[in-house]
Amino acid sequence: MRFVGGIRTEATEGRLFFVSKGQSLAIERRDGAPHVPVGRAPVGAIFLGTIGDEAYFAADASEGPELEIISLRHLFGALHDEEFAVAQRALGLVAWDQDHRHCGRCGAPTERSQTERSRVCTKCGFGVYPRISPAVIMLVEREGKALLARSHRFPVPFFSALAGFVELGETLEETVVREVHEEAGITVTNVRYFGSQPWPLGGSLMVGFNCDWAAGEIVLEDAELAEADWFAPNALPVVPPKLSIARALIDDFVARHAG
Ligand SMILES: [Zn+2]
């Protein structure tokens, strides 16, 4: 069954995503498996939408019962895919709702719109919508090898595809070309769309691309990268976990060269 988003509902009960610190959820454990709590939505909960007959709400964990808190990452595979996607929305929307209690234009309090996903200033009427920050991630290929890099920022030392945020006025393809050049000193061509992945932390949308090496040798100009190299599909370093589009790009690269 598919998720159908909504703003208002008659429902007062449903599945409740209690968000903790913007990146974790309160869950109930039954037979060891995590479940989304079911019950009456607290006052001020955000209605997210429905899956079938089931209404979904989000609220801050401080509004809910004392339950086990678990990182969203650890719910991947434990919730079904549709529900996991709603959990991502819950995290993003609770953070957005909390961050925009006051108008950025005049400073007066805002309130939730009853007709669309926005908060509206009670004084000047200025509306604030959830913002999405697009970022690109790209697998660069050269003669059957992929450019992978290790960032100082990664909590564990794995190698991944290069990535970066889109700047104002840029097309996604231009961001791909600019980022690879800035971070690794390489010129790329033939930029092709691969797929995308929403990520609620920081409200980003990762857009994946494949592209080909055109010129240049690896020069780490950006202080962000610790190491970068070309890797053959049968000699990969430690790569990111399955959850990520980075891993999907790398798996696709390996699959294409398997034969
Ligand atoms: Zn205002």
What's the pLDDT tens digit per position in 161-206? 999 999 999 999 999 999 999 999 999 999 999 999 987 667 889 9
Size of the chain, expressed as the number of residues it contains: 259
Cα–Cα–Cα angle for 25, 27, 32, rounded to 5 degrees: 135
pLDDT in the model for residue 157: 80
Question: Any idea what DSSP says for residue 111?
Answer: E
Instruction: Give residue 94 CA to ligand 1 midpoint distance, Å.
Output: 21
Average pLDDT over every residue of 46-58 = 95
pLDDT in the model for residue 131: 87
Instruction: Give residue 221 CA to ligand 1 midpoint distance, Å.
Output: 43
**Domain layout of the chain by residue ranges:** 3-99, 100-130, 133-257
pLDDT over 90 (residue 25): yes
pLDDT over 80 (residue 115): yes
pLDDT in the model for residue 224: 79
Average pLDDT over every residue of 70-82 = 86
Cα-flanking dihedrals φ and ψ of residue 178, to 5°?
-65, -45
- What digits encode the pLDDT tens for the residues 195-249? 999 876 678 899 999 999 999 999 987 677 889 999 999 999 999 888 789 999 9
Cα–Cα–Cα angle for 250, 251, 256, rounded to 5 degrees: 100
Instruction: Give residue 98 CA to ligand 1 midpoint distance, Å.
Output: 16
Is there a common fold for 3-99 and 133-257?
A: yes
Of 250, 251, 127, 137, the closest CA to residue 204 belongs to 137
Residue 103 β-bridge partners: none
pLDDT in the model for residue 152: 82
Instruction: Give residue 118 CA to ligand 1 midpoint distance, Å.
Output: 13
Instruction: Give residue 120 CA to ligand 1 midpoint distance, Å.
Output: 8
Choice among 61-70, 85-94, 128-137, 218-227 with the minimum mean pLDDT? 218-227
Assess contact for 199 and 135: CB atoms under 8 A.
no
Instruction: Give residue 127 CA to ligand 1 midpoint distance, Å.
Output: 8
Instruction: Give residue 12 CA to ligand 1 midpoint distance, Å.
Output: 31
Instruction: Give residue 101 CA to ligand 1 midpoint distance, Å.
Output: 11
Residue type, 208: G
The CATH classification number of 133-257 equals 3.90.79.10
Instruction: Give residue 123 CA to ligand 1 midpoint distance, Å.
Output: 5
Of 183, 172, 178, 173, the closest CA to residue 148 belongs to 183
Instruction: Give residue 86 CA to ligand 1 midpoint distance, Å.
Output: 30
Give the mean pLDDT of the chain. 92
pLDDT in the model for residue 259: 67
Residue ranges of alpha helices (H) inside 9-107 are 81-99
Assess contact for 231 and 237: CB atoms under 8 A.
yes
pLDDT in the model for residue 258: 83
105 vs 85 pLDDT, higher one: 105
Say which CATH architecture domain 3-99 belongs to: Alpha-Beta Complex (3.90)
The SS3 call for residue 232 is: coil
Instruction: Give residue 47 CA to ligand 1 midpoint distance, Å.
Output: 24
